[in-house]
Structure 1
Amino acid sequence: MSVINMTGTGAGGIDLDELTALQKDVVKGKIAGVSGFDEPVEGTLELTGNTDESDVVSGKTFYSDNPYLRKTGSLSLTGNAQIGHVLAGETFYTNNCKTKLTGTMTVNSLLSFSVAAYSGRRVLAKWQNPNQAAGKPFSGVIIRYSTGGYPGVTGGTQVYKGAGNNTAVGGWSQTYIDMPALNTTYYFSCYPYMTCSAGEKTGTALNAVAITSAVINKTFTVSGSYTIPTGYTKMDLFAVGGGAKISYSTSSGGGPPHGGAGGGYTKTVKNLAISPGQVLSVIVGAGNSNGNSGGNGGASSVTRSGSSLIVANGGTVESNGDFSNCGCNGGSGGGAGGYYDKDTTNNNVGGNGGSNGQNGQTKSKPAAKYTYWGGTGQGTSTKAWGSSTGTLYGGGGGGGGVGMAYKSHAGGTGGAGGGGAGGAGGDGLKDGYPGKSGTPNTGGGGGAGGGSDVKANGASGSGGSGIVLLKLY
């Protein structure tokens, strides 16, 4: 067994087998006996720490470069964070690191949330701001929507983010939201958010459901104005002009009856762009009721800021031929008047008024080279919006029937869509029977009065007033 003899006044030695320190465990520059060496050697351990008193909490001791010099820290932790200042679930130290704390800060919760249809695509969202509470901040709300169920905080489409119109604690706030479609059920989720150094944090969602308004269909039977409401972006228009009234004779021996008056023309305009607050000026054409002289029906129209959007002219009293016995032109043509024909009773009956844009009935006797033409119709459907179904407008007036040789022959029927029927002819020494007026707000043409070979012809019926329809979507 090797023994290191130590110089000095004492006796004895160190058993090398009892040495456990290695050369690397001895500070460089110091001589010591270490395991593996028979003689004392210089250590190789270099202490390179750079900690100083300001790095260590005040009152705590440590060793740095000089292992023989114990130092006392001077670092003072004076943080004043509280658990309500730190996000829930996050940990931190304060007050000289004596205790690890866990934050409890969360976004404050809304008190209430609702959504209701307002106008068109627009809905009104309302919520009640949170009451003030420590450790529960609040910046505003985020609203999301879906058509397939409540979207929560991650689904659907975000449609609003902000504080609404009232930031008061516990106060009610609101915002208007324009949705994509009319007459649609939307599911809404509204949740609070707050912004901080860690970014944006959100709270618990409240849910509500609302159905947007339907298409607006507006009917004008008299002239007026209309202001475009909020929530609509497109408009269709349909207009029918007033029906005409045919002139008639009041003298004795009035002679052959006239043809029926033309129904009002119709027109459709679609996909007009509109904005809330725009004012439309609507004119509904009057049916002509001008005594025995008659005349054309009035035009129906819609204008916006002085600019014309649609015009539908009234029916006319211009004959479709060389004789006043012919029917008149319009949305649907008037039927021709009956004429004196001793051989064929059918020709004595007035022609029927046209329907759905068609011509009025013609009366003729080829052998005699006599033809009373029915009035010309517009050639397209007189139903609203150009549809193949629905209500007819602008029917032509029926032609008057013939009265002769003590026989009275019927007038023609009025065309479907409000046309007035023609009057029957005078029987013997009687005046012709009056024609019927067109139905109001259809633009129907007035029926012609019946003729008389001895007395006065019957009075003609007045034209029916027109109509204007609006569709907002």
Structure 2
Amino acid sequence: MGKMIISETGGAGAGSEECTATRAELLKGYTAITNDSDDEMVEGTLELTGDAADSQVLAGKSYYNTNPKNKRAGSMVNQGAVNQTLNAGGSYTIPAGYHNGSGKVIANSLASQTGGTASAGHILSGQTAWVNGSKITGTLTIQSVASFSLAQYATQQIIASWALPSVGPWSGIRVMCKQGSYPAHAGDGTLFYEGAGTWASKQLAEGIWYFRSWNYITTNFGRNYGGYVQGSINNTAITGTQTFTSSGIFTVPAKVYAVNVFLVGGGAAGGYGDRSGNFEAGSGGGGGYTATHWNIPVTPGQTISVSIGAGGSLNTNGYPNNGGNTTFGSYSVAGGTTYRNGGSGGGRGTYRKAGYPGGDGGSDGGNGGRADSNYGLGQHTTTRAFGEPNGTLYAGGGGGGGNGSEGVSYRGVGGSGGGGNGRDGWNAGSAGAANTGGGGGGGWCGWSDENGIRGSSGGSGICIVRWGY
């Protein structure tokens, strides 16, 4: 727009009637006679008030903003028609610029994104899944075990066994137990077993125990449990003892699967006194050896042979024999020997001329016979039943024989645990006590008849079987 110039002719100026522009069509800041100015000079009211930026005007196009003398060029990118496809969960950033309105963003079909082969029977009951574009509610249930049984060992050991389901799904089984009531859920009570096996055992306290077992499957979303099966058992202390003083058969009681056995061999006979040469009295026989065998596996109703070792006897000439072995099935322990060795060693006999006393029998306590010049060798472990401090003491060594010189008694005394006393001119000797494995006392070396110098027989052995301890 420019200034309006009115030419004058013949001294007469143009008037408003000859003008076509109005005041509103004249730029503000400029004056002129307009169609609506009544032949007067007036200032225009027209203004440029644009606020567009170059980036808001399409590239290749020009425009005026607020300054009619400043022609501007647009820079907006012409994107034309933009098309895009998206999967569920995908996103697309719309680029800046001009769009002609024909572009599209299209979502791919759900079926193309949820391809699968699962049916309702493959999906856990109560769970849902999209398969080939359709939402499916599962009907599959976790099968419980086919059977569940409980039994008891002798030592309060409970065995649970079960048959796993023939159809899935399942990853394992969880067995819980509790006293007073059944476990309320798979985390209530004492865990008895968890895994994919078919049986388990655990030692539990006395009383009634209630069991429940749940099959489960493990998924990426945690563990899912199926239904449960249950059962109860009265866990009683099954204990017992059977003592064999003679050979026989042990029959394993019902519900007994392990036994402990204490064996004592027969004690050896006491030695023969010698009246010639050195006049040495006979040594005491060694007590039978002892042994404890723990947790021997057995089954109810099984029969096991037991043989009790005989005490060592005297042959026709009065010479001594060793004690016999005691056995329980394939387990065995030896008898004592006439060399004074055994569970507890026998005492050494005296010499008549030198006046040495006969040796006492083996130890009274738990260490077996001593091992010095006057005693036979013991086993150097306790000879008490089952090795217990208060157990009955067995396998005492026999006392050595003495003499009757000048009316003095020098015979040895048998060891505690059944050892027999030695013989001398004033006191009769004694055999090892029956079923103790005690060694027999030694003979003396006096002037009397042949029988006076004989030793005494050893004591027979013993076998003690017990369970539930």
Structure-2-length-normalised TM-score? 0.50
The structure having more radius of gyration, on CA atoms, is 2
Structure-1-length-normalised TM-score? 0.50
